[in-house]
């Protein structure tokens, strides 16, 4: 078992646990409505039948969207920390995946596009975490508009890349798993966006639930890279130090070394033949 597997596994564990902690803090401080409560009261003058507590009246401002859970302190501090740390881990996993593909196979357009979308998603995630929706709505929505589509594009590109590079039965099964997760994430993203634009509190509440499902699917998708990272070594970092231009073990990188060694052999053989021709001439001169 390689230590590189810890990184993709730790990302979903850290982020999913973190955002649920943020939700629990926001719910404890009565900043959002519980996920299981589908009843809202626009006037906030009467308690709802299914609620418990003195001031648990929900409005459209209390919909448990992930961004709403991380709007007010103290949960906003943890939300910013989780998003910033998660964005760094996304960048690192995307970079290692990019190098791993080059090392084991060869570089391609899908691989370069996958790295680009991962880094764009990380940039949007930083904006989402550090610009709260109630205080910097425009910047927050810009970050969300960058993070959500780019993350969806990333999982689609990686699913296609998995099938393109698959050679064993296990790799094909991983491709099936990733395609299934990508389809579920796409459905959740579309439904979340459509319901979010509606005025009904029930549909907006459903939008929040689909948003949670989407984010958890994306994070779990990153966790599947533990399958490939189990075979990584320190040579993967050497691919990055060379600028990612060389081929992998099965690509063009080995060709250069082979041609170099072949030329050396030819030089040695040539040197041996020339020595054999010059030896009789030296004897005749003596």
Q: What is the pLDDT of residues 8-45, one digit of tens each?
A: 999 999 999 999 999 999 988 888 888 887 877 765 55
Distances (CA, A) of 131 to 26, 40, 67: 17, 27, 10
Q: What is the pLDDT of residues 75-106, one digit of tens each?
A: 999 999 999 999 999 999 999 999 989 887 87
- Higher-confidence residue of 253 and 59: namely 59
Q: State CA 209 to chain mean position distance.
A: 21
- Cα(122)–Cα(173) distance, integer angstroms: 28
Q: What is the pLDDT of residue 196?
A: 92
276 within a domain of the structure (yes/no): no
Task: Give the number of other Cβ atoms within 10 Å of residue 190's Cβ.
Answer: 13
Q: What is the pLDDT of residue 94?
A: 95
pLDDT exceeds 70 at position 193:
yes
Q: What is the pLDDT of residue 275?
A: 45
208 within a domain of the structure (yes/no): yes
114 within a domain of the structure (yes/no): yes
Contacts 24+ apart (CB under 8 A), 236-241: 236/4, 236/96, 236/99, 236/100, 236/103, 237/99, 239/99, 239/102, 239/103, 240/95, 240/99
What value does the mean pLDDT of the chain take?
82
Of all residues in the chain, what percent carry a pLDDT higher than 90?
57
130 within a domain of the structure (yes/no): yes
- Residues 240-246, mean pLDDT to the nearest whole number: 64
281 within a domain of the structure (yes/no): no
Instruction: Quickly state the pLDDT bin for 245 (edges 50, 70, 90).
Output: low
> Which residues, in sequence order, are CB contacts of 80 under 8 Å at separation 6+?
70, 129, 130
- Higher-confidence residue of 200 and 66: namely 66
How many structural domains compose the chain? 1
- Residues 256-267, mean pLDDT to the nearest whole number: 38
285 within a domain of the structure (yes/no): no
> Which residues, in sequence order, are CB contacts of 109 under 8 Å at separation 6+?
none
Residue range of the domain that includes 201: 3-234
Q: What is the pLDDT of residues 127-181, one digit of tens each?
A: 999 999 989 999 999 999 999 999 999 999 999 999 999 999 999 999 999 999 9
- Higher-confidence residue of 271 and 80: namely 80
Q: What is the pLDDT of residue 43?
A: 56
Of 83-87, 106-110, 203-207, 280-284, the poorest mean pLDDT is in 280-284
């Amino acid at each position: 078992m390689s230590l590189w597997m810890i990184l993709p596994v730790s990302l979903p564990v850290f982020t999913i646990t973190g955002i649920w902690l943020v939700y629990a803090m926001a719910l404890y401080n009565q900043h959002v409505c519980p996920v299981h409560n589908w009843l809202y009261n626009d006037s906030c003058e009467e308690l709802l039948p299914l609620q418990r507590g003195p001031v648990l009246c929900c409005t459209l401002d209390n919909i448990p969207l992930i961004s709403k859970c991380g709007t007010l302190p103290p949960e906003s501090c943890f939300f910013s920390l989780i998003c910033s740390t998660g964005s760094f881990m996304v960048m690192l996993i995307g970079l290692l995946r990019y190098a791993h593909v080059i090392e084991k196979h060869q570089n391609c357009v899908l691989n370069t596009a996958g790295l680009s979308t991962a880094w764009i998603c990380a940039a949007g995630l930083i904006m989402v975490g550090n610009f709260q929706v109630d205080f910097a709505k425009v910047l927050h929505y810009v970050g969300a508009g960058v993070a959500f589509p780019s993350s969806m594009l990333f999982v689609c590109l990686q699913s296609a890349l998995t099938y393109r590079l698959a050679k064993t039965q296990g790799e094909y099964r991983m491709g099936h798993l990733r395609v299934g997760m990508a389809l579920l994430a796409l459905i959740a993203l579309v439904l979340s966006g459509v319901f979010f634009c509606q005025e009904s509190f029930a549909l907006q509440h459903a939008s929040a639930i689909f948003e949670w499902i989407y984010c958890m699917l994306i994070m779990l998708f990153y966790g599947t890279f533990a399958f490939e990272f189990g075979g990584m070594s320190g040579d993967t970092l050497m691919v990055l130090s060379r600028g990612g231009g060389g081929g992998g073990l099965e690509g063009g990188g080995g060709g250069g070394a082979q041609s170099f060694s072949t030329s050396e052999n030819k030089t040695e053989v040539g040197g041996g033949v020339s020595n054999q021709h010059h030896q009789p001439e030296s004897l005749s001169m003596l």
